[in-house]
């Protein structure tokens, strides 16, 4: 199935191509998309999908995603502002270190966190399919590992001693919030023969 993906994040594009191996996913332009104004991950994903539906070729399926990190000690922040925690144009490294600075001195339950992901797919006829995924864990005190992107070097999933960046891409493809959201999405979508 051919789908256009609405995102400026090349890491997400790479992961979704792994998670959806039967799909041909191409990046769609984000020029003119504007700022995200939704109050939830789903609302932001749907906003991107609606934009993609307007700019994509009529026969193309549209894929959009919004995800982020919620930290208990920060009252659920950064949440939908995960990509902009340090500033509107922050890098992953900027955001990661801003989060660690906010949590300096915090221990125990304050460092509990979860990754959330919402994926929305719009069919050429406008029908919507969606999937949600979550990964529970805690925030490490220092970055570790070289795989992944975003907050992966400081996120330790429950039951693990390593960060997501140490666990690597193969582990993420099976267990990440994005992998779980993709699995939920596919479970509710038509089979490829029905949607190609």
Q: Which of 196, 173, 45 is closest to 121 using CA atoms?
A: 45
Give the pairing of strands 112-122 and 128-139. Answer: antiparallel
Q: Which two tokens stand for residue 24?
A: 């041909």
d(CA 78, CA 126): 31
- Encode burial over 38-49: b for 16+ CB neighbours within 10 A, e otherwise: eeebbbbbbbbb
Beta carbons of 137 and 163 less than 8 angstroms apart = no
The catalytic position among 35, 50, 66, 93 is 66
66 as an active site residue: the answer is: yes
Q: Rounded to 5 degrees, what are φ and ψ at 64? A: -140, 155
Q: What are the residue numbers of the active site?
A: 66
């Amino acid at each position: 199935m051919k789908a256009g993906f609405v995102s400026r994040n090349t890491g997400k594009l790479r992961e979704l191509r792994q998670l959806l191996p039967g799909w041909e996913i191409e990046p769609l332009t984000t020029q003119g998309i504007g700022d995200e104004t939704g109050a939830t991950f789903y609302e932001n994903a749907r906003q991107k999908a609606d934009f993609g539906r307007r700019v994509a070729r009529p026969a193309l399926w549209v894929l959009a995603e919004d995800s982020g990190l919620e930290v208990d000690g920060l009252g659920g922040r950064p949440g939908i502002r995960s990509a902009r925690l340090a500033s509107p144009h922050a890098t992953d490294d900027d955001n990661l270190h801003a989060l660690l600075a906010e949590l300096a001195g915090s221990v125990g339950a304050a460092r509990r966190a979860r990754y959330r992901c919402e994926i929305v797919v719009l069919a050429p006829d406008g029908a919507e399919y969606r999937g949600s995924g979550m990964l529970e864990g805690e925030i490490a005190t220092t970055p570790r590992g070289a795989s992944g992107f975003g907050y992966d070097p400081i996120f330790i999933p429950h039951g693990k001693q390593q960060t997501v960046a140490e666990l690597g891409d193969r582990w993420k493809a099976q267990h990440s919030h994005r992998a779980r959201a993709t699995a939920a999405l596919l479970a509710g979508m038509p089979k490829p023969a029905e949607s190609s």
